[in-house]
Amino acid sequence: MPHVAWTELEAAARRDALSRIQDQFTADPDRLSRMTLDAAGLHLDLSKQSWSRAGFEAALALARACDVEGRRAALFAGEAVNLTEGRAVLHPALRAPDGAQFRALGEPVSAEVEAVRAEMKAYAQALRYGNETGATGRRFETVLHIGIGGSDLGPRLIWDALRPLDPDVDLRFVANIDPRDMAEALAGLDPETTLAIVVSKSFTTQETLLNAQAAKAWLADALPAEGLAKHFIGVTAAPEKAQAFGCGRTFAFRDWVGGRYSLWSAVSLSCVIALGWEPFQAFLDGAADMDRHFLEAPLEKNAPVLLALAEIYNVDGLLRGARSVAPYAHALRRLPAFLQQLEMESNGKQVRQDGSPVGRQTCPVVFGEPGANGQHAFFQQLHQGSQVVPVDFIIVGRTCDKTPSTYLWANALAQAQALMVGKNEAQAHAELMASGASEAEAGRLVPHKTFSGDRPSTTVLMKRLTPQTLGALIALYEHKTFVEGVIWDINSFDQWGVELGKVLAKALLKDAAKGEPSPELDPSTADLLRRLTA
């Protein structure tokens, strides 16, 4: 039963809190081989996590007690794993090879996926070769991607990770409704050679529609009205609304694709155009490789499962409420922001599937920056802060063809090592004395130069960042997020928490138009509104 497995995991974590990670390598000679694995072009090392062998086994027992294998099968079978909305969740169908047989609630969907992929490929090639042109007959040189949340973060991550140094097509993104974002995106562009792709699942997202209207006005000022629709593409599950807006063409995706899981679909059409089809297909293939690994590997050697169990051990066993993500690759600079949405929107929940309180911590706060930059910012807290924050180190062996990345990855390895081993008072004192400090000065500075160590981390290593390894990396974290949701017994695929603020914003817009707050507003909000409308 899950209750017994939870109790045993918490007891193991209490015991492990009394020992040091570094000592576990001596106590368990097989630790490294047990807690490292290779999957879909990635190497994972979880040996620097806080669990002992007994803690590791307790975590695996919890996964089995919560029926991770059964829920995994239900996900891939297209069952209604999104219970609050009665939907299947089938992002794996979007990257499956041709001939797959995925079904959503019994309805075959793979043929539809393949048809949309073929349409994306044909359109992207026509545009790249100049066969698809704008209102004045000129070929498109720039794509303006308009979306927000899952309709923005995923394609941005793909583009930043895979873009050539001198791309054939200039790809720009707009998400923020601050007019400055649109102004920066449009700077230097020619309306005659600019294609706008508007991405919204419902085609009712307020921020996206406001930005789409601004782009439309900019294009309409320079283009003949009869050709304006050529400059607008809609990517949506509501094609009729996109057409009513003025999109000359639409690409569809279905309601069994959540926004933060949708980058495998036509949501990334802008990247297909800018990169070409072959890199995008390789990106899909890498994710499909991780899907196969997740389905077939035993739990004790299953990369997404072990990542999830390490998180749960830290969050629930050791009460660590945050995790940092440090990619040591400039091309992966968007990964922390992407994972913030993927994990915190999916698992930032406080009730179980049946509506009862979870009664324990769920998703930690996820934050990060590229590691080389983070070392000069928040890593101080990671090493010497009073709160222990586990870290995911993402290391790329070679980030650039022209320059070896040795200095970069050496820093990553050193940071992970330093977090684990620390520096005790005797070591700090000896270093100070060796540097010429007096005994009094050494005694004064020792507390400031001591590192407690025993701080956990996971390392994900790839030789190079390729479309395949990028796809595998993202799919790895998608499945990790799902496994955590299964073990916490929460629905990882709805996001009701973002709705209330949207509803209240509409009411506040009406108050702002009147210049006077409604009587039912709380005093603080009412006062702030008066100040802003004065």
- Beta partners for 462? 396
Task: Determine whether 133 is exposed, middle or buried from the number of CB atoms within 10 Å of its CB (0-12, 13-18, 19+).
Answer: middle
Which is catalytic among the residues 376, 402, 448, 510?
376
Q: Decide if 376 is catalytic.
A: yes
Q: Decide if 383 is catalytic.
A: no
What is the arrangement of strands in the sheet containing 42-45, beginning at the earlier edge strand? 36-39, 42-45, 457-464, 391-398, 322-328, 365-368
Three-class secondary structure of residue 90 per DSSP: coil
Are residues 246 and 229 in contact, defined by beta-carbon separation less than 8 angstroms? Answer: yes
Closest among 334, 230, 261 to 81, alpha carbons compared: 261
Task: Determine whether 33 is exposed, middle or buried from the number of CB atoms within 10 Å of its CB (0-12, 13-18, 19+).
Answer: exposed
Q: Which residues contact 60 (CB under 8 A, 6 or more apart)?
A: 299, 300, 309
* DSSP structure class, residue 85: T
Are residues 161 and 474 in contact, defined by beta-carbon separation less than 8 angstroms? Answer: no
Token pair listed for 277: 């089809």
Which is catalytic among the residues 107, 425, 502, 516?
502
Rounded to whole angstroms, the Cα distance separating 53 from 281 reads: 40
Q: Please report, for the chain, how many H helices and E strands are present, in that order.
A: 24, 13
Are residues 429 and 442 in contact, defined by beta-carbon separation less than 8 angstroms? Answer: yes
The residue with tokens 């072990």 is 306
Instruction: Tell me the C-alpha to C-alpha distance, in Å, between residue 415 and each of 23, 64, 264, 328.
Output: 18, 34, 33, 11
Which is catalytic among the residues 132, 311, 345, 478?
345
* DSSP structure class, residue 363: S
Q: Decide if 293 is catalytic.
A: no
Backbone angles phi, psi at 404, to 5 degrees: -60, 150
The residue with tokens 């990670």 is 21
End-to-end CA distance of the chain: 60
Closest among 385, 359, 530, 522 to 453, alpha carbons compared: 385
Q: Which residues contact 364 (CB under 8 A, 6 or more apart)?
A: 311, 314, 315, 320, 321, 322, 323
The residue with tokens 């899981």 is 261
Q: CB atoms < 10 A from the CB of 41, how many?
A: 18
Query: Vertex 67, ends 63 and 72: CA angle to 5°?
Result: 100
The residue with tokens 């694709």 is 257
Token pair listed for 405: 């990345």
Residues known to be catalytic: 345, 376, 502
